A and B are shown apart, each in its own frame.
Chain A
Amino acid sequence: MQDIKNIFPPPIPFLRVRRNRQWLTALSVGLLVLSLLLLVVKANVWSLLLLIASGVLGVVLQFATRNLSNSMDIITDERERQLRDHAHRIAYWVMAGVLGGIVGAILGYFSTRSATMPVLLVADLSKLEMRLGLAMFAAVFLGLPTWIIAWLEPDSLEDETA
C-alpha cells in the first residue's frame, strides 16, 4: 500500500514546521479557554466569536495533520496509526479529568449549599450559556486529538515533498 502521508505532506510550508503547529495549537487552546472564561463571567457575542476563531484554527490544524485523528486504519501507515492512537490515549485521560472535574464541581456546588436541591445546575443557566457550553464541549472533544497530534508530530522531511 502506498504511504499517503509521504505523498501528501501539508502543502503550506509554514504548517510543516512543528514549532509553528505548536504555536497554532497554543493559540487555539488559548482562545477556547478565553471563550470559556467569558462564558463563566457572562455569555455574550465575544464568547461565541472566540469559540469560532478557536474552531477555525482547529480546522487549520486538522488540515496540517492531514486529518490524521479521524483517519481510518486503511489509509494510514503503522507510524501514523501509532501516533493517532497515542494521541487518543492522552486525550482520553484529559477528557476524563475534564468530565470528572465538571461532575465533581456540580456535586460540590450543591453539597455545600443544601441537602435537598430544587434544580440541577443546568436549570440555572440561560439558553445561550447552555448552547455555548455544549458547543465548547463538542469543540474540545473534536479538537483535542488533533491538537495533540499537531503538537507531537515532528517536522516533515524535505524529501517527502519529492
Chain B
Amino acid sequence: MAQTWQVRLVSQKIRRLLVLGCYLGYVALILVWVFVPQPIRSPLTLLVGLMCVLCMGGLHLPNLLGISSGEDRLLDERQQAFRNKMYLLAYQILGALVMVLALYGYIAADSKSLWLPKSELELQAVFWGVWVLVTTLPSALVAWLEPDPLEEA
C-alpha cells in the first residue's frame, strides 16, 4: 500500500518571497538585458536569471510548497480541494490575461505607435515570460494564498 503523508508547507512569508522572486526576477532580467551596458550585462543577467530559476524551482518542490503539482496521494483532502480551487483561479487569470494581450496585439497590429515584439530576442523574452507564468501560476497562487499551518500542540 502506498505510503500517504501530508505535505507541510514552509511559512507564508518565505513562500511569498519565492513568488515575488520568481516574477520580479523575470522583470529584472528583461530590464537588465535592455538597459544595462554590455561589460556588466552578462554577469548581472546570469545572477538575476539564477535567482529567477531558483525561485521557480522552489515553487515546484512538492515537499516544500509546490502542492499544485503534487500527487494526490501526497496531499490530504483539504489540500487537494484547495489545490484544485487554485487551478480554477489560475485558469480564470490566465484566460483573462491572454484575452487582454490578444486584444492588445489586435489593436497594436493596426497602430504604428504601440509596441509589438519585433526582434527574435523580444520574442524570446515573450516566450520565456509565458513559460514562466504558465508553469508557475497555480503553484504561486497556492504559495501566496495558503495560510500558515497551525502549530501542533
- State whether these chains interact: yes
Of residues 129 through 153 on chain B, the ones whose CB sits less than 8 Å from some CB of chain A are 130-131, 134-135, 138
**Cα distance, A137 to B90, chains bound together (Å):** 17
Contacts across chains A and B counted by CB atoms under 8 Å: 90
> Is there contact, CB below 8 Å, between B105 and A141?
no
**Cα distance, A116 to B85, chains bound together (Å):** 43
Q: Does A45 contact B (CB under 8 A)?
A: no
> Is there contact, CB below 8 Å, between B98 and A116?
no
Q: Does A16 contact B (CB under 8 A)?
A: no
**Cα distance, A107 to B138, chains bound together (Å):** 25
Q: Does A42 contact B (CB under 8 A)?
A: no
Of residues 113 through 132 on chain A, the ones whose CB sits less than 8 Å from some CB of chain B are 115-120, 122-123, 125, 130-131
Contact with A along B78-89 (1 / 0, CB 8 A): 000101110110
Contact with A along B98-140 (1 / 0, CB 8 A): 1100110110010000001111100110110011001100100
Shortest Cβ distance from A118 into B: residue? B118
The dominant DSSP class at the B interface is helix
Give how many A residues have a beta carbon under 8 Å from the other chain's beta carbons. 36
> Is there contact, CB below 8 Å, between A92 and B90?
yes
Nearest CB on A from B84, distance (A):
3
The dominant DSSP class at the A interface is helix
Give how many B residues have a beta carbon under 8 Å from the other chain's beta carbons. 31
Asked whether A111 and B120 contact (CB < 8 A) given A88-B84, A89-B87, the answer is: yes
Asked whether A116 and B84 contact (CB < 8 A) given A130-B106, A137-B102, A145-B91, the answer is: no
Q: Does B64 contact A (CB under 8 A)?
A: no
Residues of chain B touching chain A, judged by Cβ–Cβ distance below 8 Å, are 81, 83-85, 87-88, 90-91, 94-95, 98-99, 102-103, 105-106, 109, 116-120, 123-124, 126-127, 130-131, 134-135, 138
